[in-house]
């Protein structure tokens, strides 16, 4: 199947298998390996991207179903200089191994844009689908909260 996508600002026409997920497409066809294949079953959030501006788990999204959509991955964030949330993650020491961080940043950006960043409790609930095995959770919450407007 042929689909048209806008990926990180660039238009792409892609041939995709019907069973291929957006994560397969990003990592294996486009070489965009920022979104991570953690659980590959929607439980860890490491593959989170923005799909038409909303957060999406790329491992649970069939590529054929998003023909015409706009996808933003971590590679499309802070390409010139770090996104404010990336800077906040560094300042708050919100990562250790970094494997989950691309997904955390994408989910965190969506959290800030949704307005759900107005309390620690709401940020924790919003981010609860993004696991961090290094358990940097308090710092992740603090980094997101620091940018709440």
Determine contact, residues 93/126, Cβ cutoff 8 Å: no
Which position has the token pair 């953690």? Answer: 38
Q: β-strand 70-72 against 2-7: which pairing, if any? A: parallel
Token digits of residue 21: 């997920």
Q: Is 62 in the site for another protein (CB under 8 A)?
A: yes
How far lies 148's CA from each of 36, 41, 130, in Å? 26, 30, 19
Residue 59: CB minimum distance to another protein, A? 7
Residue 36: CB minimum distance to another protein, A? 14
One residue of 14, 60, 134, 147 binding another protein per CB under 8 A: 60
Using CB under 8 A, which residues numbered 25 to 54 contact another protein? 40-42, 45, 48, 51, 54
Q: What is the distance between the terminal CA atoms of the chain, rounded to a whole angstrom? A: 43
Question: Which segment (4-12, 80-88, 111-119, 140-148) binds another protein by CB under 8 A?
Answer: 111-119
Residue 123: CB minimum distance to another protein, A? 11
Token digits of residue 18: 């019907």
Chain residues binding another protein by CB under 8 A are 1, 17-19, 21, 40-42, 45, 48, 51, 54-57, 59-62, 64-65, 67, 107, 110-111, 114, 116, 124-126, 128-130
């Amino acid at each position: 199947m042929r689909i048209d996508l806008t990926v990180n600002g660039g238009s792409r026409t892609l041939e995709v298998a019907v069973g291929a997920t957006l994560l397969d497409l990003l990592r294996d066809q486009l070489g965009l390996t920022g979104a991570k294949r953690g659980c590959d079953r929607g439980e860890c959030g490491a593959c989170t991207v923005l799909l038409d501006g909303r957060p999406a788990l790329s491992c649970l999204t069939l590529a054929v179903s998003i023909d015409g959509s706009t996808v933003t991955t971590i590679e499309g964030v802070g390409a010139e200089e770090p996104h404010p949330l990336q800077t906040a993650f560094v300042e708050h020491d919100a990562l250790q191994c970094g494997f989950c961080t691309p997904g955390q940043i994408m989910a965190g950006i969506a959290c800030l844009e949704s307005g759900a960043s107005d309390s620690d409790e709401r940020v924790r609930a919003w981010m609860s689908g993004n696991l961090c095995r290094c358990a940097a959770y308090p710092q992740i919450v603090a980094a997101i909260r620091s940018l709440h407007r």
